[in-house]
Amino acid sequence: MKASATLLQMKYGRVIMRFAELADITVKEAMGFFYCSTERELIRDGVSDLHCMSDDYLAKDLLEEYMVFTNQGKNCRNS
Residues near 68 by beta carbon (within 8 Å), at least 6 away in sequence: none
For the stretch 4-51, pLDDT in tens is: 889 889 999 999 999 999 999 999 999 999 999 999 999 988 888 888
DSSP state of 34: H
Residue 2 is predicted with a pLDDT of 64
Entry pTM: 0.86
Decide which of 75 and 60 is more confident. 60
pLDDT at 77 over 80: no
Residue 15, amino acid: V
**CA dist list (Å): 46 to 17, 20, 75:** 21, 23, 25
Q: Where are the domains of the chain?
A: 5-71
